[in-house]
Amino acid sequence: MDAKKSKSTNSAKLERERLVSLINSMADGVIATDELGKIVLYNGAALNVLDVNIDIKGKKIDQVATIIDKNSQTVDFTTMIIETQTQTTTRELRLSYPDGSVSNLYTSIAPVKLGYGKQGASGFVVLLRDITREKSLEEERDEFISVVSHELRTPIAIAEGNLGNAQFIVDKIGGNEQIKNALSQAHEQIIFLSGMINDLSTLSRAERGKLNLEIEPVNAHELVEELSKEYTPEAEAKGLKLRTHLASDLELFSSSKLYVREILQNFITNAIKYTETGSVTIGAERHKDGVLFEVSDTGIGISKIDQEKVFDKFFRSEDFRTRANNGTGLGLYVTMKLTRLIHAELDLKSEIDKGSTFTIYIPNLGK
């Protein structure tokens, strides 16, 4: 009996040693706590991340480190840990050191069973990673994109204006066809470039959380009519019909007119771009507390696999008909960012060779 007991104690010890050497070999800080948030196990990397060199067993993380949020408010990390219910909860927080310096911290908390059998105590495993370097690279990249896109705006606007003038003059004096073609192609590309720079600039502002949200009353009816007027020439130039479908009971709603417009513009330009024959329809109807807009086309459609990726940064379908058009793969990514800012909900239905329908529900943000 005793021999049996000592065998099982030995194997438990061995198991524990294995576990400790496993977590000690990890580059990320790992801390296991009991159900009250008291540390029961940790690795060397955890001490490095928290910048402590004492035994932290039996203590709570808050007792050995000061964790703050992005607004520099102290976070009750122990409560955050013990209230974690979902499988894994990840957060980006910051760590404030006694000397006043701060590092960026990626944390992941998972509730676990820390023992075996029915009696197995439950607890939490907390993963800590210092992401200060990644964060500063990300910030530098966004800053660079923001400055470059800003600086490129003026020269591009001047080039576009001059090309437009040159086209007008050549048309008037009846210049030769080759010059006309060259000017027209240059003009087209400059317009594409200017759209791309706009996307990049909106994107970097959205990623830095620097987009101002100006909420104002929006008239869905007027907005759709304006957009239809704006895009009819482009659609007609491709032989497409641009229709509108407006419910009669539309009311004013409050949101960012600028962003709603930008989102719809992205849907409409795509619909025109990726449709060879048929029509593009812009619709609006009342839905819940706000408005449901819909832009549908009879175009090339999007395959099921691509539908999951169209909102990703730089994604463009491999379809040759997509590649026949200029594009950056940023439009829908920016759309998705703006959608989140105004708490809207996006939906996409599409069938290859039949067409696509992008819907967006914009909630009323006014009180």
Is there binding between residue 300 and ligand ADP (CB under 6 A)?
yes
* C-alpha to C-alpha distance for 345 and 358, rounded to whole angstroms: 11
Smallest distance from ligand ADP to CB 137, Å: 24
Smallest distance from ligand ADP to CB 150, Å: 21
Is there binding between residue 329 and ligand ADP (CB under 6 A)?
yes
Is there binding between residue 37 and ligand ADP (CB under 6 A)?
no
Residues 255-294 that bind ligand ADP (CB under 6 A): 266, 270-271, 274
Smallest distance from ligand ADP to CB 149, Å: 16
User: Site for ligand ADP (CB under 6 A): which residue of 331, 360, 362, 365?
Assistant: 331
How many residues contact ligand ADP, by CB under 6 A? 22
> Which class for 271: exposed (0-12), middle (13-18), buried (19 or more C-beta within 10 A)?
buried
User: Site for ligand ADP (CB under 6 A): which residue of 39, 145, 332, 338?
Assistant: 332
Smallest distance from ligand ADP to CB 236, Å: 18
* C-alpha to C-alpha distance for 281 and 228, rounded to whole angstroms: 9
Binding part of the chain for ligand ADP, among 33-41, 161-169, 254-262, 299-307 by CB under 6 A, reads: 299-307
Binding part of the chain for ligand ADP, among 207-215, 242-250, 253-261, 322-330 by CB under 6 A, reads: 322-330
Interhelix angle 177-207/132-173, rounded to 10 degrees, is 150
* C-alpha to C-alpha distance for 144 and 136, rounded to whole angstroms: 12
Q: Which residues bind ligand ADP (CB under 6 A)?
A: 266, 270-271, 274, 297, 299-302, 310, 315-317, 322, 327-333, 356
